[in-house]
Every structure is written in structure tokens, then in C-alpha cells.
Structure 1
Amino acid sequence: MSGLTACGCFTGSAVNHRGTATVIYTGVKAATSDRATLRDGAHNFREVQCLATSSDPELRTWRKRERPILQPPEDPLLTGFRDPFLWQDGPHWYLGVGSGQRSQGGRVLLYRSLNLRDWEYLHPLASGDWTGRDSVNPVDSGEMWECPDFFPLGGKHVLLYATAGQVVWETGELDPKELVFHPQKRGVLDHGAYYAQKTQLDAKGNRILWGWIPETRPEAEFSAAGWAGCMALPRVLSLGADGSLAMLFAPEIRSLRAKSCFIPPFESHVPSALVIRALQDVRIQNLSGEFRLNTKYPRSSVTLQDRSGPWWSATLEPKDTSTAKLSVNGKTVDVPIVHQQEFSVHLLLDASVVELICNGKHAFTTRIYRKPDGPLRISLSDSDLAQLDGLEAWQLRPISPDRLTS
């Protein structure tokens, strides 16, 4: 690559502008220290916002604008300038760029335009706080926000960004006059291996979330495998009754379902032997399956195991009146609870990836590189079996016969 993207490019956004596909993205090239916006301790890079268009119906050919549409602010405290997102309101386009200031915190810089090419800087749309830690990478210390996204949902606005080792969501109000976002609720989008989140609207007006699943194994291993990273399954976002962000796997995933098993909710007089026998019939072959199960709160757990023992497990147990501990494969996080009477688990498994959504709000994506010894089965303790309130399982068809699994 050369020119504006001599050292690569970062994420951006695509829109339909008067019938023309238009992408605004971040270009990266080497720079002197005084001109750099991105420093890794050994290299200095400058980030600018670029534009490309395509009239090709298949989007195979693009025309790239030779000059940047946005230069970074001349701010010596600037910690980054990348990952633009767009929205339109009346004749104006608005563009947010992930940024931040050293020893202050991450922020989203807001710009306005009538034609997507000439931009006026307004002010920060939203700002955060520095963690107080020093780090070569300002994203790790909360001094830079990466991959921001901003959109209306359920009568509120939602801001997504990545910083300090987490992908964060915030819901709140956008002041229509001041164009400043005021958050009211905050949480973690996914507690596991999940990054570079991005949303879109589908044909039905649903807000669809996409994400990238990075590797959690050593670099030498994925270099030897010849591939690294994959896309998460799409999720549909909504606003919960308490104003928090809720999510479900997109219904289109159902088209991958094959053989199924169903255990309906049962009364206490049903012999547990029947349930045990039904559970023994639940087997997932070829590391490709889906599970949905409900158990009664407050403490619940579920395990997938092979002939060698546990392969994946999740446990939810109360910590106090408003918080529960969610543990997945040994990693524990605190999640809020609102008088929850049921532990709802929706699990999708594809090769080394396990995606979990708990109670429609708490996501946890896991990478597991140990190939199972035989088919995977559901294992429940006697206490969890007594709390079981229904289970569904499907063998899934892989999207391709030659998918990368190791």
C-alpha cells in the first residue's frame, strides 16, 4: 500500500449517499514524532480519515479520494484519531471519530458536513475518564476509545466503544440542541474474546451487532495454523425495560439447524430418570451445535463435556442482592441482576468458538482449542437437574465443509 494507507488502514463506516456506496475509514502512514497520533513505543504513525466510493453493484471496484477528508486536531495530548462512524439527520451528516487525551480519558470527536467531504468540527460527543494507569498503548489505560458506534434504540441512544480491556455500552440521551450524549446506564458488551464491534440496520429496521473474535492462543500457534481471528455471529440489539442494552442471536442463524432435541418444562412429579435419559440423547458432533436451556435461579450451572471430562462450563450464582457472579471456563465477572427468577442460557458452538448469551443481556465469547474426545454432551449436577426448566438442542450445519478449525 502507499499514500494515505502506506502503513495500513483501520475501521470505518459505509453509507448509501445518493445512490453511491461511500466508505469513510482511517488511513495510517509513518510520521515524525511531532506529527504522530499513534505511538507504540517503537514506531510513530499519523491517522487521517479517508473516503472511497463505488458505483459497482458488486462493490468490487472503488475510487479512493487522494486527499484525506479529515486531518487530526493539532493537540499535543491527542492519543489517537481513528474508526469513524456516521449518521444523517436532515441535510447534515454527522461523523464521530474515536480519540482521547493523555492523562484525561477517551472521547468521541464530533464533526458535521453537507456532502461527506467538507467537515466542520463541533465538539466531543462523549468523554470518559482515565484509569490512572500509565501504558504505552493509551487504549489500555482508558485514554483512547477505539471502534466507537452511536445510534438510536428504543427511545434512547446507545454508544459503544472499546477501552481499558473492555467493549463498553452506554445508553442515555442525546441532547438534540447541544449534540452531546448524556449516559444513564453502562455495561460490558461481551466479557470474553470480542472486539471491533460494529452495527447496522437490517431490512426490517433491526439493529444488528457484528464483532471480531480475536485469538487467545500464543502467536506461534496461530501463525503455524495460517489464520487468526474470525467474525462473531450477528446479534439483534434492543433496549431492556430497565434501560440497559439487551441482545439475542439473529434469527437467521436458525437456518443452520439440523437434528434437534427438546426437553419441555416439567413438573416435580416427572421421574428424573426420564430427563436423564433425554439428556443422554443430546450429543453435538463436529463442534457445531446450539443449546437453549432454562434453570431456576438463584444458583445454576451447565457443563459441556466429552469422554475426557469438562470442555466448557458456565455458572451463575448470587453475590449480593443486586449482583451475580458469572463464571465461564474459570473466568469470573460480576453482572447485575434484577430479581431474576430464571437462568436462561443460549449457546452457539462452532469449532474453537463458543458464544454465550445469558438472560438476554450478558454475553461471553470463549475460544477453546482443545478438540473434544468424542461428541459433546450436557452435564448437570443433581441440584441443577432438579432446577431444569426446559432445554432445546440442535446439531448445526457448518457454513462451509472446509471451515478452519485448528
Structure 2
Amino acid sequence: MQIKHHNDHHRTAYHFQAPSNWMNDPNGLVQWKGNYHLFYQYHPHGPLPGKIHWGHAMSSDLLHWTHLPIALSPTDGGPDEDGCWSGCMVNDHGTPTIIYSGNAHGRQLPCIATSADDDLLTWQKYTGNPVLPDWPAELDIVEFRDHCVWQESEMWYQVIGSGIKGVGGTALLYRSPDLLQWEYLQPLCVGNKAESGTMWECPDFFPLGDKHVLTVSSIPDGLVYYFIGTYQNFTFTPESQGVLDGSRHFYAPQSIRDDQGRRLMFGWLREGRDDTDLQLAGWAGAMSLPRILSLQPGATLGIEPAPEIAQLRRDHHAVEPRTITGHQTVIEQLFTNALEIMLDIDSQAATSCGLALQDSAYPEESIYISLQGSGLSIEAKNGSAKLEREQYPLTPGRHTLHIFLDGSVLEIFIDASACLTERFYHSAPRQLNLSLFANGGEATLHQLDVWEMASIWR
């Protein structure tokens, strides 16, 4: 249960969050013995980054989560004494096994831990950690951390996030017969520093349809890039690429193939506040909604919210299709900041059109979701007069926006093929009004459905 911060309206009702303090990357995502397990980077002693542990939560339905004891903690004098950093979990012939980056004295090297209980509550670290003593000596790399591990036949493979100086971000490929002894093969893929950054964190590599997908979190860009292509002879050749979320608030995603055969992904939603505000709040970070990835015709990426989220819908508000001119208030007196909105709108001749959320008790605060000539934009104006902006390129015309407003999170799925996320920090909702607008001409509303959402916390 989330008790400590239950009066904080900036916390979320249906996005996963730690009970308190700092959280970041999703780790060890797995479906085990019928339950989903979400591990995550966690600092149990404060709302700012510190000596990182692995937090842990479990869910039977991908909606409601039970907070469990910390799974991994740094070991004094060990190869992870300064932090148990990001990694993944695999099933090693019935033994749940975590591969994570142990941080010690500024170096991150792969470490192993195993569990023997069905709820994955207790973990035993391998006494021979780290299982790799160093990175490839022949490469002039910038960093070396974060792990994606899979099995082919009887061999294990992993990619480790890195970057080659002067070249670009890199995913380094290794193989092992037993998860303990690793042989370096070659770079799986090397990027261009001008296009995708100098360092690739949190690589995730997986088959999707008849292609493979590599996602990487880029330094210094702060964006998550995806590449779709072919994997052959230990080399991944990208054929197309894009941005997984148009915002720098979404970072370090991890995915699994669940029992339904879906490619299921969570990402870390970064805060948009400074350290002073985080200290006052006592917490930081949230997870994205679970996203389902698919391969679409033309080898493009499909991205949609997991359908389970619809189970949280409560009071429903619908607006009939219409022509939009000017500013039209269509729904009034929503006393919640946990909403799901489905908007199907055609900008037609309008220079801009979209949806506005404003609270009659705080007229200086607003959220505008606009379709303009340059694309989709989000403008969230806080009471302090600070204006947050995010933008995603789109061609003018008809688009479907699947919008999730939850506490201080705004997560938008665009035409089931892209996402844009914003963080904002408004006053407590009193009377939220929803309006449609069209400037410089008419727009056409095809669908507007709004649901008030239930909390996932029992």
C-alpha cells in the first residue's frame, strides 16, 4: 500500500511508483510462476540518487502491485559496494538468475545473483562476482554497463551498453555456456555519435515479428532510440530507426515477451522538478504504463498501452462528433486528476486544434495538447508561470491521441505508433474543465471519450 504520500496529488493513481524515496530504471522484468515481477533502481534512504539497491514489486494482473522487500543491496567491500545498477533476469533451467552491473570505485562490471523461492524474495550473490573482470582491451570505450541476456540453443548471449570514443554508442556482444564464463564476440551494433549519442545505456535486444529490434538510451541526448533490422552472424544491421518516446522524461526501458506472446515494455518516467522540490516531496520517479510493442507493415513499430488498463475505467463522459471553431468547453467539473482520454480529431484547415485542460480554481494553470503544422505539442503551464513544452513531429490531418493524465504524469500514445510524455506539477484539482479548440479555421471531432480512473493501490 502507498500510505506515506497518500495526500500528495502529484503522485500517480495508476502508474507504478515506489512507496517512497528515489526510483529509476525498470530492471529484471519477468513473468514468473504466473506473476509479473518488476524490479527497479531504488535508493531507500532519500529522494535523490544515492547508493542504488533493487526495489521489487509483484502483480498477478499487470495493474495492481504488491511492494516486496528490497531484492539486492550493495555489499560492503564487494564488487557492488557502491550500488547494484541496472540489469535483467533470465530463467536458467528453472533457476531465476539476475545479471546486473555492480558498481565499485567508478567501475561497473557484470554480477550474478540467483533465487530459490517462487516469489523471488531472497537472492544469493555469486561468490565469483564480477563474472567479467574488464571490458575489451582493444576498444577505446567511454562506459560499460547494463545488460540484456537471452538464450539461443544451449548458449547464452548478452549485450552490454557502451560507446567507442570518437565514434558513437555501442552494444557489445558476449556469449557464455553457463552465465558465468563470458567470451567477447564483437560489437552487435555501433552508432553514429551525431545521430544517436556517444554512449548507449540500457540496451534491449529482441525479436519482433520477422525482424529484430534494438532499443538504447542515449547519452547525452537523453532520448530512447529504436532500430529495426536483421540479426545474422552476430551482427545487427538496422534498416529503420526512430525515437521510442518524443520526450526526455521517458528513459531506460526494458521489455519481455510475456505468457500471452506480447512484447511488454516499461520505462522510467523522469521528474521535471529540481532537487529542492524532490527533497520536500520525499519521492522521485514513476514507471510508464505497460506498453505493448508490435511490428507493423513496412517494418514500422507499433506502440499501444496494455489493454488491461481499461479495467480501471469508472465514470464515462462522451462528446458527440462535431465541427470545432474557437474554444468550446465540453466537459465540466471533473474532480480528479486521474483520467483516460480517447481523442480522434482532424485538423483540416485549422492552423492549430486540440484539447485543453484547465482548473476553474487555478486559472493560471493549464495543459494544451495541440495539433499544429509542425506536429503535436504539449504545453503545461504551472502556477509558478513555468511553461513545460514537449513536441513530436506529425503531418497535418486526422490523428488519434490516446491520453493518460495521472497525477503529475501526462502520457500520450499517438496513432498507436509513437508516444510523448510530459511531467507537470499543478495545484490540487478542484474543478477540472475540458475544452476543444480550433484556431485559424475549422477542425472536425470524430471521437472524444473520457474516463475517470480507479487507483491501482489496494
**Which TM bucket (shorter chain)?**
0.7 to 0.9
Partner of 1:280: 331
The answer to which structure, 1 or 2, has the higher relative contact order (CA under 8 A, 6+ apart) is: 2
**Corresponding position of 1:365:** 421
Q: Equivalent residue for 1:224?
A: 280
Answering whether residue 217 of structure 2 is matched by residue 162 of structure 1, we say yes
Measured against aligned partners, the alpha-carbon deviations of 1:276-305 in whole angstroms (never above 9, x if no partner) come to 68x235x53231111001001455322111
Quick one: percent identity of the two aligned structures? Answer: 35
Whether the aligned pair in 2 keeps the contact of 1:301 and 1:316 (CA below 8 Å) is yes
Matches of 2:328 and 2:172, distance apart in 1: 56
Structure 2 SS opposite 1:254: helix
Instruction: Return the alpha-carbon distance in structure 2 between the equivalents of residues 360 and 118 of structure 1.
Output: 41
Separation in 1, partners of 2:266, 2:172: 23
Contact 1:105 1:144 in 2 (8 A): yes
**1:303 partner amino acid:** A
Residue type of the partner of 2:339? G
Tell me the equivalent position of 2:125: 64
Detail structure 1 runs of 4+ shifted over 6 Å in the superposition: none
CA RMSD of aligned residues (A): 2.4
Q: Deviations over 1:7-33 (max 9, x none)?
A: 102211101111110110100101xxx
CA displacement at 1:358 relative to structure 2: 1.4
Q: 1:148 and 2:212 equivalent?
A: no
Cα distance in structure 2, aligned partners of 1:249 and 1:147: 21
Determine if the alignment matches structure 1 residue 317 to structure 2 residue 372.
yes
- Output aligned runs, 1:291-370, within 5 Å: 291-298=341-348, 299-307=352-360, 308-309=362-363, 311-319=366-374, 324=375, 326-329=377-380, 331-335=389-393, 337=395, 341-370=397-426
Compare the two structures and name the one with the higher helix fraction: 1
For residue 288 of structure 2, what is the amino acid of its counterpart? Answer: A
1:380 deviates by 1.1
In 2, are the aligned partners of 1:169 and 1:189 still within 8 Å (CA)? yes
Letter matched to residue 8 of structure 1: G
Sort the Cα spacing of 1:327 and 1:77 in 2 relative to 1 into closer, same or farther, 3 A.
Answer: same
User: Residues 58-94 of structure 1, C-alpha deviation per residue, up to 9 Å, x if partnerless?
Assistant: 1111110122112322357221111100122211111
Aligned partner (choices 220, 231, 250) of residue 194 of structure 1: 250
1:300–1:343 CA contact under 8 A, matched in 2: no
Aligned to 2:191: 128
Task: State how many pairs are aligned.
Answer: 364
Contact 2:140–2:164 (8 Å) recurs in 1 = yes
Structure 1 pair 334–255 and aligned structure 2 pair: CA distance change class (3 A):
closer
Structure 1: where are the runs of 5+ without partners? Answer: 31-44, 133-140, 402-406
Partner of 1:16: 91
Letter paired with 1:358: I
> What is the CA deviation profile of residues 371-393 of structure 1, one whole-angstrom value per residue up to 9, with x for unaligned ones?
25523222112568841101111
CA distance 1:76–1:126, shift in 2 (3 Å): closer
Give 2:234's match in structure 1, choosing from 169, 172, 179: 179
Is the partner of 1:108 in helix, strand or coil?
strand
* TM-score between both structures, scaled by the size of structure 1: 0.83
Distance 2:429 2:117 in 1: 48
Q: Which amino acid aligns with 1:13?
A: C
**Matched residue of 1:79: which SS?**
strand
- The CA deviation at 1:365 is 1.2
Q: Distance in 2 between matches of 1:76 and 1:223?
A: 40
